[in-house]
Amino acid sequence: MYNVRKVYNDLYWIGASDHRLALFENIHPIPRGVSYNSYVLMDEKNVLLDTVDWSVCPQFLENLSHLLEGKTLDYIIVHHVEPDHMASLGEVMLRYPEAQIVASAKAISMMQQFGFDVSAKAQAVKEGDVLSTGKHSLTFVMAPMVHWPEVMVSYDTLDKTLFSADAFGTFGALDGKLFNDEVNFDRDWIDDARRYYTNIVGKYGAQTMNLLKKASGLEIARICPLHGPIWRNDLEYFIDKHKHWASYTPEVQGVMIVYASIYGHTESAAQALASKLVQNGVKDVSVYDVSNIDVSYLVSEAFKYSHIVLASSTYNADIFPKMKDFLEHLKMLNLQNRTVGIMENGSWASTAGNAMKKILESMKDMTILDTEVKIMSSLNDEEKLDNFADAITQSLKAQ
C-alpha cells in the first residue's frame, strides 16, 4: 500500500520507516527504528530529492509511482551518497531512465565508486547554482563533512524549504507522524536526535557550524531532513540544540557518572558519589554502568553534560576495556570543553586513572579536576568521597 504525505504545496514525502534494522551503520542500536526520508517536488519539471535505503526500496518505489501517476520524473537530486539514501538509485534509474541526476561533482564520482553508472545523465552543481523547475528554484549549498565530503543541501526559494540532508535528522521511525508538531519532540525524540547527531556527525562540529552559519542567512519556513520529522515550526529550538552539539557546548550543567566495575566496589563508590552530589544540591546527576549500555548512548550523554566522572577499575594493567572504548569514542568524535573527575580502582598496581588522564589530555579543552579518588579494592574513606563531591560541586558553581 502506498504511503505518501503532502509536505507543503507541491512537495510530498515518499519515504519509509524501518523497524527491522537492529544496528544503524551496523554499529548503533536503534530500538525505535529509523526513517529514510525522500521527497518529490511536483512542478513543470518533477524532481525526486534523494532515494532511500535498500531495505525500504519497494515501499518507496510504490510511493513514487503512485505520486507521479505516469508523469515524467525529470530530475533526481542526490544530496548525499551514503547508501542509506542512495542504495535505491539504480532502481529509480531503471524505472525512470529519462531522469537527470543532479549532485556535487564529488557525489557523482562517489556514485561511480559505489557502482552506479551515472556518467551519461549526471549534472554536477556547485555552491550557489540554481535549478529551476518551473515555479520553484532550488539553490545548492555545499555542506562537506556533514556528514560525508560530497554532501550538499538545497533551498527552495519559493516555499523557503531547506532540504538539509543528514543535518537535523534523528533516529526513530516516523510511524505515521511526519512533522515535528505531530510528536512531542522534547519528551520523546530529543535523546535519539542527540544520539544520532553526536555519533553520526559529532566529529564534524566545525563543518556543521559552517552549515548553520550559511543557513542563518536564509529565511527558512521548514527543514526537510533525511531522517526523522520535518520541522515546520519552533525551528529555533532544534537549531539551538545543533549549535550546542556542533560547538561542543554542554546543554546541561550537571554530572554524568560512568563507572566500570568488575565485582561492584567501584559501582558502590560511584553510587555513593551520586548520592553526595545530589545532597550537595546538584540537580542533574545521572549514573551509567559502562558494561551495561551501548556506547552510543554514553557518547550522547557526554555531549549533553558539563561534567563527567569516570570511575574505572584497572584491568590488565590498563583502563577497563569498555571504559577505554568509551573514552576513545569521545576522542574520535572530538568531544571537548568538559570538566572531568577521575576515580580509579586497583587492588594492586592501579593504572586506570593515569591511563584515562592520558587520553583526556590528548583531547581539546578538557579540564581534569585535581581532586581524585583512588580506591584499593573497596572504598572505606568517606572523607575522600566528600572532598571529591565538593570539588565537583564547586566546579559546577564556578561555571
Count of beta carbons in the 10 Å neighbourhood of residue 48: 25
Cβ-closest residue to ligand FEO? 82
* Residues 116 and 93 sit within 8 Å (Cβ to Cβ): yes
- What DSSP element (H or E) covers 288? strand 285-289
Residues from 94 through 133 that contact ligand FEO (CB under 6 A): none
> Nearer Cβ to ligand FEO, position 25 or 382?
25
According to the binding rule CB under 6 A, does residue 227 interact with ligand FEO? yes
Minimal distance in Å, beta carbon 82 to ligand FEO?
4
According to the binding rule CB under 6 A, does residue 242 interact with ligand FEO? no
Minimal distance in Å, beta carbon 166 to ligand FEO?
4
Q: Where are the beta strands (DSSP E) in 96-214?
A: 100-104, 122-125, 130-132, 137-142, 152-156, 161-165
> Nearer Cβ to ligand FEO, position 53 or 344?
53
Is 150 exposed, middle or buried (CB count within 10 Å of its CB: 0-12, 13-18, 19+)? buried
Q: What is the C-alpha to C-alpha distance for residues 314 and 291, in angstroms, rounded to an integer?
A: 14
DSSP three-state, residue 17: strand
According to the binding rule CB under 6 A, does residue 53 interact with ligand FEO? no
According to the binding rule CB under 6 A, does residue 324 interact with ligand FEO? no
CA distance from start to end of the chain: 55
> Nearer Cβ to ligand FEO, position 46 or 164?
164
* Residues 247 and 209 sit within 8 Å (Cβ to Cβ): yes
* CA geometry: angle 260, 264, 268, nearest 5 deg: 90
Minimal distance in Å, beta carbon 227 to ligand FEO?
6
According to the binding rule CB under 6 A, does residue 84 interact with ligand FEO? yes
Minimal distance in Å, beta carbon 358 to ligand FEO?
32
Which residue is it, cell 539551538? 240
Minimal distance in Å, beta carbon 151 to ligand FEO?
8
**Pattern 178-217, ligand FEO, x by CB under 6 A:** ----------------------------------------
Minimal distance in Å, beta carbon 21 to ligand FEO?
12
> Nearer Cβ to ligand FEO, position 31 or 264?
31
Q: What is the C-alpha to C-alpha distance for residues 13 and 36, in angstroms, rounded to an integer?
A: 10
> Which member of 10, 74, 150, 166 binds ligand FEO (CB under 6 A)?
166
Count of beta carbons in the 10 Å neighbourhood of residue 158: 15
DSSP three-state, residue 41: strand
Size of the site for ligand FEO (CB under 6 A): 9
According to the binding rule CB under 6 A, does residue 82 interact with ligand FEO? yes
Q: What is the C-alpha to C-alpha distance for residues 84 and 200, in angstroms, rounded to an integer?
A: 13
Minimal distance in Å, beta carbon 101 to ligand FEO?
18
* Residues 212 and 141 sit within 8 Å (Cβ to Cβ): no
Minimal distance in Å, beta carbon 24 to ligand FEO?
8
> Nearer Cβ to ligand FEO, position 28 or 329?
28
DSSP 80: -
* Residues 282 and 274 sit within 8 Å (Cβ to Cβ): no
Minimal distance in Å, beta carbon 119 to ligand FEO?
24
> Which member of 76, 142, 226, 342 binds ligand FEO (CB under 6 A)?
226
According to the binding rule CB under 6 A, does residue 301 interact with ligand FEO? no
According to the binding rule CB under 6 A, does residue 80 interact with ligand FEO? yes
> Which member of 147, 195, 241, 242 binds ligand FEO (CB under 6 A)?
147
Q: Which residues of 244-281 are buried (b: 16+ CB within 10 A; e: fewer)?
A: bbbebebbeebbbbbbbbeeebbbebbbebbebbeebe
Minimal distance in Å, beta carbon 75 to ligand FEO?
21
According to the binding rule CB under 6 A, does residue 49 interact with ligand FEO? no
According to the binding rule CB under 6 A, does residue 85 interact with ligand FEO? yes
According to the binding rule CB under 6 A, does residue 162 interact with ligand FEO? no
Q: Where are the alpha helices (DSSP H) in the chain?
A: 57-68, 83-86, 89-95, 105-113, 190-196, 205-216, 235-246, 265-279, 295-304, 321-332, 352-361, 382-398
> Can you read off the three cell numbers belonging to residue 6?
503532502
List residues near ligand FEO by CB under 6 A. Answer: 80, 82, 84-85, 147-148, 166, 226-227
